[in-house]
Amino acid sequence: MAVVEVRDLVKQFDGGKAHGKVHAVDGVNLTAADGEYLVLLGPSGCGKTTLLRTIAGLEEPSSGDVLIDDHVVTGLPPRARKIAMVFQSYALYPHKTVQANIVFPLRAAKMERAERDRKALWAAGLLGIEHLLARKPRQLSGGERQRVALARALVREPQVFLLDEPLSNLDAKLRASARDELKSFQDEVGTTTVYVTHDQIEAMGLGDRIAVLSKGRIRQVGPPAEIYDDPADTFVATFIGTPPMNLVPRDGHLVGFRPEHLLPVENVRSAERTLMPLAVDRIEYLSGDRHVYGTVTGIGEATRVVARLPSTVETPIAAGETHDFAVHPDRLRFFAADEEGLRTDPIRLGVG
Ligand code: ATP
């Protein structure tokens, strides 16, 4: 196993005449601890893949360093880094069996046959694909193919796994089960893993910690619950969560609260609660929850928000009506109403 670290990492691309230099990675400092599952999460184009490829040695940084176990590996080729990378489109050899696909990197490394076969069986056992060893890739499901690709990476016994959206080719249901499998596999093997995704559910489910990226920069690094409950800025607050955090402008601040914390006032037990009349215009039923859309007043500028009510909240609510809602004061978050949108100290809203 190993510690992976990047220091002041910058990667620029030539974006052509029209765009000049593209700062794909713009000064990133990050450490994945020994055995940690670190997820890089961010929207398309934020630089996740470039960061991962730079750690792998597939891209050379413009400046900064990559370290594995305190050794600078910047400039070393990928094969000298004890890493294994699994891409979004994990190309298996279509005419080779699963077994032959898995041992391919070992053959290339001129390992003896008996040793190769022993390793293939070990990796296949870990991933639960022993019964598929004689098949060809076209005879496998998407999830099974993905496990073969992982097994092929695993036989090299890497110190670090780098995974780039390995589940993105799977349908939603398969993705969920493949995610579970990846997680229990990680718990068992404990290899340091850096995992790239734009899918926050995947990130929340898999990551020991999540690094949220935007425009080549890290906005926040922390365990999933911390990223969700205490977002460092408005980017993280609105990128994480479906629907995202509500943000209501008030006196140079933004007052933030998650949809599940905006509730009919009788469900909020606090002497400090502030009344927020909600003029309801639309209600959606999703997985047993009511998503109530409307315009809220009472705490700042009139703003469109959404409330997410669990089925235990039985207050009758109809579109076209106004209801008194509130948020428990412990659930309120405050941000600067400028471009950076950083977390600020709480402001008093007044009791209503
Ligand atoms: P996605 O989720 O869409 O894969 P990403 O977060 O992985 O996106 P990157 O692929 O790292 O993003 O790209 C980051 C930025 O760098 C983008 O603006 C992209 O257009 C640019 N970029 C990436 N590779 C190159 C390249 N070879 N030449 C020029 N620009 C590039």
* For residue 121, pLDDT beyond 70: yes
* For residue 341, pLDDT beyond 70: yes
Q: Whose CA is nearest to atom 7 of ligand 1?
A: 49
- For position 347, what pLDDT does the model report? 85
Q: What's the 9 CA to ligand 1 centre distance in angstroms?
A: 15
Domain count within the chain: 2
State pLDDT tens for residues 186-240. Answer: 788 888 999 999 999 999 999 999 999 999 999 999 999 999 999 999 999 999 9
Range scoring the smallest mean pLDDT among 76-90, 235-249, 304-318: 76-90
Q: How far apart are CA 75 and CA 64, in angstroms?
A: 11
In this prediction, residues 9-27 reach a mean pLDDT of: 89
| Tokens of residue 113, six digits | 């046959």
Q: What's the 342 CA to ligand 1 centre distance in angstroms?
A: 26
Q: Whose CA is nearest to atom 17 of ligand 1?
A: 45
Global pTM value: 0.89
On whether both 132 and 101 belong to a single domain, the answer is yes
Examine residue 277 and state whether it is found in any structural domain, yes or no.
yes
Own/partner pairs for 68-74, CB < 8 Å, 24+ apart?
68/2, 68/3, 68/4, 68/5, 68/159, 68/160, 69/2, 69/3, 69/159, 70/3, 70/5
Q: Is 87 in the pocket of ligand 1 (CB under 6 A)?
A: no
- For position 322, what pLDDT does the model report? 97
Examine residue 237 and state whether it is found in any structural domain, yes or no.
no
* For residue 137, pLDDT beyond 90: yes
Examine residue 236 and state whether it is found in any structural domain, yes or no.
no
On whether both 188 and 276 belong to a single domain, the answer is no
Q: How far apart are CA 166 and CA 124, in angstroms?
A: 18
ipTM for the predicted complex: 0.95
Q: What's the 282 CA to ligand 1 centre distance in angstroms?
A: 38
On whether both 253 and 221 belong to a single domain, the answer is no
Q: Whose CA is nearest to atom 2 of ligand 1?
A: 44
Q: Would you tell me the crossing angle of helices 142-154 and 172-189 to the nearest 10 degrees?
A: 20
Mean pLDDT (the chain) is 91
In this prediction, residues 18-37 reach a mean pLDDT of: 92
Range scoring the smallest mean pLDDT among 163-172, 188-197, 300-309, 312-321: 163-172
Examine residue 344 and state whether it is found in any structural domain, yes or no.
no
Reported as type and span, the H/E element at residue 13 is strand 4-14
Q: Whose CA is nearest to atom 31 of ligand 1?
A: 13
Q: Is 23 in the pocket of ligand 1 (CB under 6 A)?
A: no
On whether both 39 and 171 belong to a single domain, the answer is yes
Q: Whose CA is nearest to atom 19 of ligand 1?
A: 45
Q: Whose CA is nearest to atom 27 of ligand 1?
A: 13
* For residue 66, pLDDT beyond 70: yes
In this prediction, residues 137-143 reach a mean pLDDT of: 87
Q: Whose CA is nearest to atom 14 of ligand 1?
A: 47
Examine residue 239 and state whether it is found in any structural domain, yes or no.
no
Q: How far apart are CA 33 and CA 284, in angstroms?
A: 42
* For residue 352, pLDDT beyond 80: no
* For residue 1, pLDDT beyond 90: no
pLDDT > 90: what percent of the chain? 69
* For residue 89, pLDDT beyond 90: no
CATH of the domain at 43: 3.40.50.300
* For residue 168, pLDDT beyond 80: no
Q: How many CB atoms sit inside 10 A of residue 344's CB?
A: 14
Query: Amino acid letter at 32?
Result: A
Residue finishing a domain among 229, 261, 278: 229
CATH of the domain at 301: 2.40.50.140
Q: What's the 334 CA to ligand 1 centre distance in angstroms?
A: 32
- For position 321, what pLDDT does the model report? 97
Q: Domain of 206?
A: 4-229
On whether both 195 and 286 belong to a single domain, the answer is no
Grouping H, G, I as helix, E, B as strand and the rest as coil, residue 83 is strand
Ligand 1 pocket mutation, candidates 6, 22, 25, 197, criterion most atoms within 8 A of CB: 22
- As a residue count, the chain comes to 352
Q: Is 214 in the pocket of ligand 1 (CB under 6 A)?
A: no
Kindly indicate the confidence band of residue 132, based on its pLDDT and cuts at 50, 70 and 90.
very high
* For residue 149, pLDDT beyond 70: yes
Kindly indicate the confidence band of residue 276, based on its pLDDT and cuts at 50, 70 and 90.
very high
